[in-house]
Structure 1
């Protein structure tokens, strides 16, 4: 009986050893890869750039600047983004990067609790430095190392000053932004208000809207019904600009009006070239990408510790339609 059990045990052990060998061989010869690339011998760091949008002029320029600097410095940079804003997928990409234990993250700021939880708790737990780009989330809420991008308060001031030069220092002006404005929108709004407070004959109408085109058009329609004499329009969130102008065009001639926005949405260039915008704030997204990678590498190498908590501002300028046409 014992002899039979011994023979059976040997047979089972032999079969298991063979299956283990086959499994090991299949793993060794497979093409399986990590979701984010592992560091190779000639690449010093693994960095990731995460944005809500890809394949738009603004974010393509950010990625271009970041990728060129990463290649120049010999580091690996992964670009993660989505076609069209998808907040859930964006946050999933951020969480994936954190759990993959990359060396550093450059990310478009999102003023939402889930984003703050990921950067303030999870990224900090793994010791992963986070730099926000183009859109910021305050350091006390996100624990990001620094911000790279436009000075949005200054951008708001530039828009307001240009509107006064064009329209004069009296009249009604609508400022349109999100129902729950992101941090960068609040900064732009504060800059605009800082200028308009010096001009008491300008009546400012705050207009909050959802960002879907249908909602923007309905909000604009209601605005025009209640304020038929309005002359000035500022889209703080460039995403609402197209729907706003489409509804205005149904009711009024565009030429006598004064309409302004920012350059960080795909629709803006076309509207600007068609002469439907009087001026925009032009930013430097390519420099943002380059500077983000440069600062992250400097921090990882201990050359810039700590980084400036207030951020590193890239150039902005007002571009009038007559300057381009």
Structure 2
């Protein structure tokens, strides 16, 4: 082969190599874009971890969370243990969310002291946490970005003041509460107790039923046996209030005894509408879920959020139960589309 032909062949080979290298450019760019999309996808995922998924209240929180996710274009996954007393399962859920590199966690801690270590792990991993419903039991406010909920003591006090307005001075009242030592139920019970005693009511019992309707039936039946002139039961969630009413109904005292719950759950609203349960103090769970996810999105997007947000409460009784339920039903129906 002549030198000229060798040079021409070498030139052609070099040209082909350059073309091949240039052709790799778009492929590398596509891979980079894919990685960016993957990272963005992670940031657009929010894990909402509620105290449990065994009551209407938490399903309403779920509805609000999903409404916010749809409105702002984020994927929202709602999980929770089978019981509000299962802090181990909830802790594992927080750690799973961190492992899955979610953009943020919205947490309603069922054991606010126990969950501190899991939230610390989220912070260490760079996953922001929004606390809802029950404040985390820690002095280190840097662990979470915002707390959204109602002061449970003040809410309990509001319930106690409402009940006092329906009772006579000296009337006997029993309190049925959730798990002993759980701050949420401690505060709801203490607030009501202080308001009722300040109004001159006689607190004859404060008994735990662990947020369980069946246990509340037994607790209320025992109280009725020992105090047949009981005038009121106040429970720190609606499941226990419905259990207390079941006991009252079985004793034929339903026309003499006021029964009030806490949460504004579907079952409680139905009971109030039927003229059974007297009232429930609702913490606006749909708004709570919505605001929790909205705050998480703002943090992900680099916006500032308020450290503490009071979501407010509303007392639901026979006077407003219809309008309250209609509004909730509309929002829950909308959330089921997503």
**Could you say whether these structures have the same fold, taking a TM-score greater than 0.5 normalized by the shorter chain as the test?**
yes
The 3-state SS of whatever aligns with 2:76 is strand
- The 1:251–1:130 alpha-carbon spacing in structure 2 relative to 1, beyond 3 Å, is same
Counterpart for residue 321 of structure 1:
318
Query: Is residue 187 of structure 1 aligned with residue 184 of structure 2?
Result: no
Q: Distance in 1 between matches of 2:214 and 2:78?
A: 31
The answer for the alignment partner of 1:289 in structure 2 is 289
The aligned residue for residue 152 of structure 1 is 152
Query: What SS class does the counterpart of residue 303 from structure 1 fall into?
Result: coil
Other-structure match for 2:104: 104
Which residue is equivalent to 2:239? 239
Structure 1 residues 39 and 227, CA gap change in structure 2 (3 angstroms) = farther
**For residues 116-138 of structure 1, what are the alpha-carbon distances to aligned partners after superposition, in whole Å with 9 as ceiling and x for unaligned?**
22113x11221222112223323
TM-score between both structures, scaled by the size of structure 1: 0.76
Question: By how many angstroms is 1:47 displaced?
Answer: 1.5
1:235 CA drift (Å): 0.5
Q: Please give the alpha-carbon distance, in whole angstroms, between the structure 1 residues aligned to 2:288 and 2:214.
A: 32
**Contact preservation (8 Å) 1:110, 1:137:** no
Q: TM-score, normalised by structure 2?
A: 0.74
Contact 2:46–2:77 (Cα < 8 Å) also in 1: yes
How many Å apart are 1:258 and its aligned residue?
A: 1.2
Distance 1:204 1:160, change over 3 A: farther
Shift of 1:204: 4.8
Aligned residues: 284
Closer, same or farther in 2 for the Cα pair 1:296/1:82, shift >3 Å?
same
Larger helix proportion of the pair: 2
User: Counterparts of 1:54 and 1:290 in 2: how far apart (Å)?
Assistant: 17
- The gaps in structure 1 that reach 5 residues or longer are 1-37
Cα deviation, 1:226-249, whole Å, max 9, x if unaligned, reads: 212111110013231222222222
Aligned equivalents of 2:320 and 2:122: distance in 1? 45
Residues 265-290 of structure 1: CA deviation (Å, up to 9, x unaligned): 45322322222211111232221122
Residue 223 in 1 paired to residue 223 in 2? yes
Q: Where in structure 2 are there 5+ consecutive unaligned residues?
A: 1-36, 323-338
202-211 vs 156-165, which deviates more? 202-211
